[in-house]
Structures are given as C-alpha cells and as structure tokens.
C-alpha cells in the first residue's frame, strides 16, 4: 500500500466525531438567520427569541426551500420563506398558517449546539449519536477585566481551505516544525504529552528572537477532539488562542482563530499597539506560515519518523482514531 495519499482518498478523515465551531456568538443576534455548509450538509444557523442558537438541516420538508435564504425567526421557531410553515427547536412542524392541522410526519434535523467562550460549537457524529463529552469554558475569552478578548479585533475566519482537521491537529505533536516553519530559535523542549479520552495535551517551552529581543515562551496546548485546539502561552503577555477547523466537505474546511491577550492595568480603553502586534503575529503571521504546507501536502499514512518525534506523533495518531467511525489505516 502507498504511504503517501491524497486527502481525497481518505474521505472519512473529513467527518470526525466531536465539537466544531460554526461561528462566533457576538455575530449572531436574536432573530438572525444564516445559511451555512458543513460536513457536506446545507445548514441554517439562527438565534431564537429566547436567545438560544439553533443549527438545523437547511431544507424545509414541505417544498424544499432553503431556510437560510429568507427564513425568519418566529418566537422559538424558524419560519419557512416559501409557505410560512414553522419548525420548533426539536425540528417538529409547529404551524401551517393556512391549515387547521400541523404535519406530524415530517421533521427537520436539529443539531446539538453549545456556546463556549463566545464560540458557537456544533456537535457532529457520523452515526447520529449525541454528545459524549463537553468542551470546558474558556474564561479568558469573556473576562474583559483581565484580557483583551477576541471579539474586538482578535478573531479571523479562513473559508474553504484545502485541508482536513487532521492536518492542523498534528501540529500539536509536531514540535520540530516550530523552528523551520515558525522560525523559533530552536526546536522546543517538550515537557509532557498526555492523552485522555477526548483531550490531547502538549506542554513545551522555547525561545523566539524578535525586534524586541529574545522572548521565552511556555505553552500548554490542548486538543479537544480533532476540531479544536486551545493554546495557553506564557510570554511577554499571557495569550490564549482557540484554533477550530470545521470540515465543509471531503476536501475543504473553514478555519476559525480566536486570540485573547492579557490586559495590563495601564492599557487604557484602547487596544495597545503591542497587543495588536501579538494578535497580528497569531492571526496573520504564524498561521499563514502553515497554510501553504497544509493546502498542498499529501497525507503520509506511515511517515519515516526519527526516534525524536516518533513517540509523540504515534501517540497522537492513535488517540485521534477515537474520533473516526471508520478505520483510518494509520500505522503505529
């Protein structure tokens, strides 16, 4: 069997089980209705009048209208723009405005949604099962007294990237690339790597030389399933980032990046230029360095690991198998 394969030959890698970001909370007000496409499904995302975010399959079972184009929120239901049928939070038909009866035989699929740290997360399971674990809070994203939160210029979305979540996930075990892709002074020193049911945690230290001089970094990076990485970085200022990769289809993914930077007492009401620089380094610097590699690489099922990287890579790949419903044929 060939070791190097194109990602199109491993379609199951595009559809892992877990939590995946589909937006930011502050961008979806009560009554907003938006179309989306993830996991090769057309979806509609909307916030009902009680404040809850809903994600549903997009097409009205009546005549197939896309609810994301012209659909409206009516109470805690979404109303079809074509004939006014309404559908509740369980996906059931709630009303037909020109009929005395409702249709009890048809439903739209509603997906499980959580809002965590200002991120809108959707649960995906290829077999249709519900959540088996939760993503913990990211308190730094909502604490404006201690952090410049992501929601005033510290977040960015890249749409339709030619990559799979697995590519980005594997950065959490790929310590050598920090020197050669991100221009760290040396390969980081790995302090520990731990894998539990749905978390893969890597702790490492390193050094970067910038115009301001040498900066020592200490990072704890936690993968929650295949689609979310929460990284906490201790440096000149504490920084917390969430990298989220959500499949659009078998070849493309949307990437969401959110960055919070420590707020000091003398920062004032405006975001200091130094903080803007840290954000820029994350949003437009480090991530952009990875993109040309991710978008053009083949996937190696059995890389020729040197001993220095074999243990951590093999551990991560074995752990990631937990989130795929079909065998990925990775070798250990």
Q: What are the residue boundaries of the structural domains of the chain, listed by start?
A: 18-124, 140-323
Q: Are 207 and 213 in contact (CB under 8 A)?
A: no
pLDDT tens sequence across 67-116: 999 999 999 999 999 999 999 999 999 999 999 999 999 999 999 999 99
| pLDDT of the residue at 1 | 52
User: In the block, which residue shows the tokens 């994301």?
Assistant: 68
Hey, what are 101's tokens? 């009866």
pLDDT at 330 over 80: no
Cβ-based neighbour number of residue 56 at 10 Å: 22
| pLDDT of the residue at 67 | 99
pLDDT at 329 over 50: no
pLDDT at 66 over 80: yes
Confidence band, pLDDT 50/70/90 cuts, at residue 246: very high
Rounded to an integer, the average pLDDT of 45-51 is 99
For the chain, the helix, strand and coil percentages under 3-state DSSP, each to the nearest 5: 20, 35, 40
Cα separation, 204 vs 177, whole angstroms: 13
Confidence band, pLDDT 50/70/90 cuts, at residue 278: confident
pLDDT at 215 over 50: yes
Whether domain 140-323 has CATH 1.10.10.410: the reply is: no
| Full-model pTM | 0.93
Rounded to an integer, the average pLDDT of 262-279 is 84
Whether domain 18-124 has CATH 2.102.10.10: the reply is: yes
Nearest of 56, 7, 36, 41 to residue 157 by alpha carbon: 36
């Amino acid at each position: 069997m060939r070791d190097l394969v194109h990602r199109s030959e491993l379609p199951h890698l595009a559809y892992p089980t877990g939590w995946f970001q589909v937006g930011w909370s502050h961008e979806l007000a009560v009554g907003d209705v938006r179309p989306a496409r993830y996991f090769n499904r057309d979806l509609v995302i909307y916030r009902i009048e009680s404040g809850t975010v809903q994600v549903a399959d997009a097409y009205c079972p009546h005549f197939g209208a896309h609810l994301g184009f012209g659909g409206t929120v009516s109470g805690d239901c979404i109303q079809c723009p074509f004939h006014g049928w309404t559908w509740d939070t369980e996906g059931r038909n709630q009303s037909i405005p020109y009929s005395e009866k409702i249709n009890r035989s048809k439903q739209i699929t509603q997906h499980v949604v959580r809002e965590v740290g200002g991120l809108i997360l959707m649960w995906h399971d290829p077999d249709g099962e519900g959540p088996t674990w939760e993503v913990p809070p990211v308190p730094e994203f909502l604490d404006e007294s201690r952090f410049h939160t992501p929601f005033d210029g510290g977040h960015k979305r890249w749409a339709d990237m030619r990559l799979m979540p697995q590519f980005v996930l594997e950065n959490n075990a790929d310590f050598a690339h920090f020197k050669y892709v991100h221009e760290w002074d040396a390969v980081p020193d790995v302090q520990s790597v731990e894998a539990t049911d749905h978390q893969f945690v890597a702790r490492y230290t390193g050094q970067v030389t910038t115009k301001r001089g040498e900066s020592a970094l200490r990072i704890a990076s936690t993968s929650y399933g295949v689609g979310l990485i929460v990284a906490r970085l201790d440096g000149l200022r504490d920084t917390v980032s969430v990298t989220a990769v959500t499949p659009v289809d078998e070849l493309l993914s949307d990437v969401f990046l959110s960055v919070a930077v420590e707020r000091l007492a003398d920062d004032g009401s405006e975001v200091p230029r130094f903080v803007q620089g840290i954000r820029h380094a994350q949003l437009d610097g480090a991530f952009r360095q990875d993109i040309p590699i991710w978008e053009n690489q083949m996937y190696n099922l059995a890389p020729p690991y040197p001993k220095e990287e074999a243990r951590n890579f093999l551990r991560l790949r074995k752990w990631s198998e937990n989130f795929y419903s079909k065998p990925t044929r990775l070798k250990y």
